[in-house]
Amino acid sequence: MSAHPNDTHGTHGHTAEDGHDHGSYKSYIIGFVLSVILTAIPFYIVMSGGFENRSLTALVVIAFAVAQILVHMVYFLHMNGKSDEGWTMMSMIFTVIVVVIMLAGSLWVMYNLNANMMPQMNHDTLGFGS
């Protein structure tokens, strides 16, 4: 009766002062230098006219953007699997999934809509409207 199994509560560990990683000068500088490089290269590629193949240019530019977003996540936002017992990472993964479904879905549906509605469904050719 007198035993309190809940006594262990409230002792779960907080390593840093507030349980968060704030990085160091070194990590900020590394992140900054990486971001500058990852920004400068795609800007240079596009401003100097890009490659012969336009889709290749687009792919390279997008690849640099993804790399830079990851750099920002790690070096500036200090993402890791540990902060707030992993819930930060979980909520981000959930958001990324929803964003990907929404972006890909919207673009896919609207692209097909445009492709299928033009131009043979034009009102003039079918004699609809004014």
Partner 1 sequence: MSANVQTPAQGYWETEPHHHEEGASTSLGFWVYLMSDCLMFAVLFAVYGVLGQNFAAGPGPKALFDLTLIAINTGFLLVSSITFGFAMLAMVKGNQRTTLIWLSVTLPLGLAFLALEIYEFHHLIHLGAGPQRSGFLSAFFALVGTHGLHVAFGSIWLVTLMVQINRHGLIPANRRRMSCLSMFWHFLDVIWIGVFTFVYLLGMI
Q: Is the dihedral of CA 89, 90, 92, 96 positive or negative?
A: positive
Which listed residue (65, 97, 117, 121) binds partner 1 by CB under 8 A? Answer: 65
d(CA 27, CA 20): 15
Q: Pick the binder of partner 1 from 37, 98, 117, 121 (CB under 8 A).
A: 98
Binding-site size, partner 1 (CB under 8 A): 54
**Contact between 30 and partner 1 per CB under 8 A:** no
Structure tokens at 97: 């999934």
Distance CA 78, CA 10 (A): 25
Least distance in angstroms from the C-beta of 130 to partner 1 = 20
52 is a site residue for partner 1 (CB under 8 A): no
Among 15, 47, 123, 127, binds partner 1 (CB under 8 A): 47
Residue 77 engages partner 1 in binding (rule: CB under 8 A): yes
Peptide bond connecting 42 to the previous residue in cis, omega within 30 degrees of 0: no
Burial class (CB in 10 A: 0-12, 13-18, 19+), 78: middle
CA distances (Å), origin 81, targets 23, 30, 86: 15, 21, 5
Residues near partner 1 (CB under 8 A) are: 1, 3-6, 9-10, 17-18, 20, 22-25, 28-29, 31-32, 35-36, 39, 42-43, 46-47, 50, 54, 57-58, 61-62, 64-65, 68-69, 72-73, 76-77, 83-84, 87-88, 91-92, 94-95, 98-99, 102-103, 106-107, 110
